[in-house]
Amino acid sequence: MIGIFGGTFDPVHYGHLRAVIEVGEIFNLDEVRLIPNKTPPHRLEPSVTSKMRLEMLRLATEKLPNLVIDTRELDREGPSYMVDTLRSLRGDFAEQPLLLFIGVDAFNGLTSWHRWPELFDLAHIVVLTRPGYLIRLENEFFRGRQVLESAELARHQAGKLMFQRITELDISASAIRKIIAERRDPRFLLPDVVIDYIHSHHLYQNV
Ligand code: ATP
């Protein structure tokens, strides 16, 4: 099974990194593909360039096995719609179950994603706990797809929804950007190599 973890990574932090390590172990994944997005349809332009976000992601994951940085969204023209990304991944991994991991915050906004029901034709969606966010499962479409066991995901290539508890770290990129802009100390929220990169390139100096 292949894991997919998309994000803006502006910057990458331990909330992302613990999540990808833990899901790799829990679901016994062959690999997890980290996919930085280019023009996030749901948010303002990131405050640093895509190249810099990618560089920080590379630095943070250098020593982690089974993680692949996948630049297909950066290499593609136009906005980064997940449905297009999954279709392209399905071209590379025709037979394997694809597991798209998203935090609860992202799941609660899923029905605003471009052509969102098609996501389930292409992958399973696994929703990860995140402090401060409660799951809203109001939609019948979701209820009918929910499974409780990861073995269920292995039996199908796509189409299921699962909720997975992970170590809850109350870390967000926006809080880190604010800490840096206020000249406070961000250590232990993200890797030192990323902090060094941020300081040497004078990133996030203003909120
Ligand atoms: P920002 O604060 O700028 O919105 P972020 O910290 O939420 O950024 P993103 O790159 O937007 O980071 O998130 C990418 C994915 O990682 C999303 O699915 C999000 O839900 C998940 N995620 C981010 N931080 C955490 C965390 N601390 N715990 C669990 N999931 C997380």
Distance (Å, whole) CA 68 – CA 203: 25
Whole-prediction pTM: 0.95
Per the listing, tokens 């990861």 go with: 150
The verdict on the CB of residue 128 being under 6 Å from ligand 1 is yes
Residue 65 Cα to ligand 1 midpoint, Å, equals: 21
pLDDT of residue 115: 97
pLDDT of residue 138: 79
pLDDT of residue 136: 85
The number of the ligand 1 atom at minimal distance from the alpha carbon of 129 is 29
For atom 6 of ligand 1, which residue has the closest CA? 172
Residue of 102, 130, 165, 168 to test ligand 1 pocket, by largest number of atoms within 8 Å of CB? 130
Buried b (16+ CB within 10 A) or exposed e, 134-165: eeeeeeeebeeeebeebeebeeebbbbbbbbe
The 10 Å Cβ neighbour count of residue 54 is 17
What is the per-residue DSSP string for 128-196? EP-TT-------HHHHTTB-S-HHHHHHSSS--EEEE--------HHHHHHHHHTT---BTTB-HHHHH
The verdict on the CB of residue 7 being under 6 Å from ligand 1 is yes
The verdict on the CB of residue 100 being under 6 Å from ligand 1 is no
The number of the ligand 1 atom at minimal distance from the alpha carbon of 15 is 27
Residue 128 identity (one-letter amino acid): L
Per the listing, tokens 């179950």 go with: 97
pLDDT of residue 40: 54
Nearest to 123 by CA among 59, 35, 55, 40: 35
Domain range summary for the chain, segments of one domain joined by +? 2-170
pLDDT of residue 46: 54
Question: Which pLDDT tens digits describe the chain residue by residue (207 residues)?
Answer: 999 999 999 999 999 999 999 999 999 999 999 999 986 555 555 568 999 999 999 999 999 999 999 999 999 988 889 999 999 999 999 999 999 999 999 999 999 999 999 999 999 999 999 999 999 887 889 999 999 999 999 999 999 999 999 999 999 999 999 999 999 999 999 999 999 999 999 999 987
Residue 157 Cα to ligand 1 midpoint, Å, equals: 25
Residue 6 Cα to ligand 1 midpoint, Å, equals: 9
Asked: is 2-170 a CATH 3.40.50.620 domain? The reply is yes
Contact 172, 43 (CB under 8 A): no
Buried b (16+ CB within 10 A) or exposed e, 183-193: eeebeebbbee
Distance (Å, whole) CA 33 – CA 104: 19
